[in-house]
Amino acid sequence: MASLVASLFIFSLLRLGDALSVDYYAETCPQAEAAVMEAVKRATANDNTVPAALLRMHFHDCFVRGCDASVLLNSKGNNTAEKDGPPNISLHAFYVIDNAKKAVEKLCPGVVSCADILALAARDAVALSGGPKWEVPKGRKDGRVSKASESTQLPAPTLDFSQLKQIFSQRGLSIKDLVALTGGHTLGFAHCSSFQNRIHNFDATHDVDPSMNSDFAARLRKVCPAHNKVKNAGSAMDSTTTVFDNAYYKLLIQGKGLFSSDEALLTHPKTKQLASKFAASQEEFFEAFVKSMIRMGSIQGGQEVRKDCRVVNQ
């Protein structure tokens, strides 16, 4: 059912005149998707944090200048690139995209954009982690501009509902997209700094955010003391950190969400209802997530097909 809905949604996008197409490389590079999947599969076999990294990388790419692979560009000369902006310092697994690009270039040089490779890799990351698989509309182009200063446009973990709604709305994304895409937090790990505000000096009257489950907060405070000096200290995003499922929502409605931005989903009736629905039905979550990934992946902004994902064409 979910795959049928996803397929219908893709074709409704195409009918709306979207430049992207699921068949974009059908004649020019039909083996591209298999090559990308192989690169993601190989990397994941060696490092189970790769899927979370690739999914996050795609999100961070799309929210700044659209899905144009600007997050992959290296800093050069006086320009500090997006990937070196504060919210992106912890991004990793760029080598997976490099390997996929090399494999695709051998098959069909100069045809497949880095932005499309990243979108495909994010889809494969979800599928390999037990999540849904969907047809990715393709035809994105790679951007030539990447500025660390623009990485501040990314949704921060400290944002409240109205701030999150505004950021998503500016990109043509709905409240339902906000709740569904936040479910990507089912994969991965968060450093103490991203939720420290909730477990120490929360406000004038509470040391800990009162909306957080007290036992959960106590465990986090042990791992992340007030003056934490352990660089890699933190917590898994949910109880099944390498499995793409709806455990994130189940924990969220129990007061066990990590970020302020997670808890923000429970502060508005519509988003709370959606979070509860996704907690109750993994199928409903998967269906909504696929639709929202396709919608987010349609935010465009590039001009070229890079030869090297880290460097603009000369």
3-state secondary structure the chain: CHHHHHHHHHHHHHHCCCCCECCCCCCCCCCHHHHHHHHHHHHHHHCCCHHHHHHHHHHHHHCCCCCCCHHHCCCECCECCHHHCHHHCCCCCHHHHHHHHHHHHHHCCCCCCHHHHHHHHHHHHHHHCCCCCCCCCECCCECCCCCHHHHHHCCCCCCCHHHHHHHHHHCCCCHHHHHHHHHHHHCCEEEHHHCHHHHCCCCCCCCCCCCCCHHHHHHHHHHCCCCCCCCCCEEECCCCCCCCCCHHHHHHCCCCCCCHHHHHHHCCHHHHHHHHHHHHCHHHHHHHHHHHHHHHCCCCCCCECCCECCECCC
Judge whether 23 is annotated as a binding position: no
Judge whether 64 is annotated as a binding position: yes
Structure token pair of residue 308 = 């090297």
Judge whether 113 is annotated as a binding position: no
Judge whether 292 is annotated as a binding position: no
Judge whether 155 is annotated as a binding position: yes
Number of Cβ within 10 Å of residue 233's Cβ equals 13
Judge whether 66 is annotated as a binding position: yes
- 60 catalytically annotated: yes
Distance of CA 11 to the CA centre of its chain: 23
Q: Is the dihedral of CA 130, 135, 137, 143 positive or negative?
A: positive
Write down the catalytic residue from 60, 191, 200, 268. 60
Main-chain phi, psi angles of 234, to 5 degrees: 170, -155
Judge whether 70 is annotated as a binding position: yes
Q: Are 40 and 54 in contact (CB under 8 A)?
A: yes
Judge whether 185 is annotated as a binding position: yes
Judge whether 82 is annotated as a binding position: yes
Judge whether 182 is annotated as a binding position: no
Annotated binding site for Ca(2+), which residues?
61, 64, 66, 68, 70, 82, 186, 238, 241, 245
Active site residues: 60
Annotated binding site for substrate, which residues?
155
